[in-house]
Amino acid sequence: MKILVYGAGVLGSQLAHVLVRGGNDVTVLARGAGEGWNRHPACFPIQNDS
């Protein structure tokens, strides 16, 4: 299943980890803290390499 986790803080990262370990296709959307990050959010896929 393809899942988007909105927020890469502590809870979002933990949720993404659990979902990837369960075999899901997870992408995390991170807003960031700097001024440039607020205008251009980062979106990155997480893969299960095991």
Q: Are the C-beta atoms of residues 30 and 8 closer than 8 Å to each other?
A: yes
In a domain, 48, yes or no: no
pLDDT tens string 8-23: 888 998 999 899 999 9
pTM beyond 0.75: the answer is: no
**Structure confidence at residue 40 as a pLDDT band (50, 70, 90):** low
The number of domains in the chain is: 1
First to last CA, the chain: 17
- Domain coverage including residue 10: 2-40
Is the per-residue pLDDT at 28 higher than 70?
yes
DSSP per residue over 1-50, as a string? Answer: -EEEEE--SHHHHHHHHHHHHTT-EEEEEE--SSHHHHHS-EEEEE----
Q: Are 5 and 19 in contact (CB under 8 A)?
A: yes
Query: Does residue 36 lie in a domain region?
Result: yes
Average pLDDT over all residues of the chain: 78
Establish if 13 belongs to a structural domain.
yes
Q: Is residue 50 part of a domain?
A: no
Amino acid letter at 27? T
Over residues 33-39, the mean pLDDT reads 52
